[in-house]
Structure 1
Amino acid sequence: MLGITALVPSEVIYACRENAVDLNNFVPFSEFQPDDKLCAWSAIWRELILKKEVEVDKLVVVAGGDCYNALVDGEKIELSGIPTLYFIYSFNRDIRLMEENLDSLVEFAGGIKNEKAFGEIADLKQRAMEIDSLRTEGKLSSIKAFEIEISGSDLMGSPDKYGKAIEALEEEDVDFDYRVAILGIPPIYRGFHEFLQSIGLHVAYDEMPFEFIRHSGRNLAEVAESYVNYTFAGNIWRRMEFVEKQLKKRKIDAIIHFQQFSCHHKLEDIILRERFADREGYPYITIEADLPGSTPEQARLRLEAFAERLAGV
């Protein structure tokens, strides 16, 4: 089992006949409260591995362009004896750097043994994009769509399992008052989407999980060309241009910026607020989290007030 700490091209991992597991998917359900931490996400998956609550044979740490706290937490795991690769995204979309990192990933995972995996996963992600469209159209709950999109990072540890999860979904009528976008880090709180749905807020766009399903390729070269455009790891101006197109396409009414304590992306809040609230006029609220758990009462009250405010806009 090959653990990943953020978005890593899983197409390559499965083409090498390895299985991927996104360590972040364990964090919202964990009871660990590590003392030695900045960001709870990386500190908790670090502890889960070091305490052997989660077992991996190898680890790929996204060490550049996405999460910087992961770098040191990954080094601590490497010191424990687990083979570790540091994967770096280019801030300025340098295709050569992406190709070099993909070559290193191929070597680390044991070499490509199943070229067909690229096409099979590309087809799976296309089906996941169709799920995203249903969510945008209000024909599928954001709760179900989020599970598919957030699982696009590791394909649930098995492309077959992921495909069956997609096939199991059926269209439904979703009752809501407003379409909202969640920008930034995926919520560390359990049941966050469920709570939003309960107060009439339909999440029509999850920024980061959408990135997990929109990047793919039918060979290594196409994978490089796609993943070099991973917006969350690059220049924020390009990222905001992409986000703005999504907001208009999905007819978003309001924005929730979800940020994590001690994450460098937290510093982007003022930039995002100036662009989307001050310039574009979107109602905008920032929710900050630290440790996993249920959505706190204070956050619930703020979101309820935000929903009520939308009624007067």
Structure 2
Amino acid sequence: MTGDRGLGTGDSRTHRRALFSAVFVTVLWSSSWVVIRVGLDDAGLAPITFAGLRYGSAALLLLAVVLARPVARRELMALPRVHLGRLAALGVVFVAVTQGAQFVAIDHQPAATTSLVLSMTPLLVAAASRRTLGEAPTGAQVGGALLVAAGAIAYFSGSLGATAIGMVAAGIGLGSNVVAALMGRWVNRMKHSLPLVTTTVSMTVGAALLVVTGLAVEGVPEVTAKAVAVIAWLAVVNTAFAFTLWNHSLRHLTATESAVVNNTMLVQIALLAWVFLGEAPSPVQIIGIVVVSLGVMWSQRR
């Protein structure tokens, strides 16, 4: 089985483009972990409010783009109530819960620890996608997911610096990330709305919930010039652009494929931490990186 057959298109070229787009998005998202750490530590932003400002700014930008495009604007205004509800639910799970939990986890423990927990996403998605989406994962996809998990464990076999709050938040992030992967694939496979509209509606709902929660729990933030720069970069490039491209790729990839590609962020985050934070990996961790890479490649075998 391939990602194309899951969609019934049989277009391998389209599938390859979607795969490349998905990998590129993970590069942007991986860089976010470094930028988020800067926002939390250097700019003094509280995690939930930080997440809300990031996704809220991105949602406003996307909404402006939608309103400026006649086709997208008409589609937004004509969305059926049922589909609007689906997009809202996706926003709650994928933006409010998943991203909010991730910010809290990063704030309370090393980013590597949270990455390890989230690396289990492909395994759970592979187990659930057959029953929920009718997408039976192939042996290669399951084997690839197992290799990714094994590599992640090898990489993070040292001291993880876990905390109770951090692990609870990471666990919530893991569960909601699995649900979001399945929901995102289900919503985008229907093709009831353009990727831009899908992203705008879901992100607006999720961001609004994050902002309200952040203000209620953490209070009104003090936004410095550095915080503005961090939020602007994350909102425009790593959120508005990246999420739109990701939703487009989900139209041509299976849930298992998208989850495994998403998990390449383990390797990317490790490399970025090495380059920008001076966290050089040990020999065992390098082996873990190689195993993760092999797992991703193996999952794409046809």
Kindly indicate which of the two structures has a greater share of residues assigned to helix.
2
Kindly indicate which of the two structures has a greater share of residues assigned to strand.
1
Shorter-chain TM-score bucket reads under 0.3
**TM-score when scaled to structure 1?**
0.26
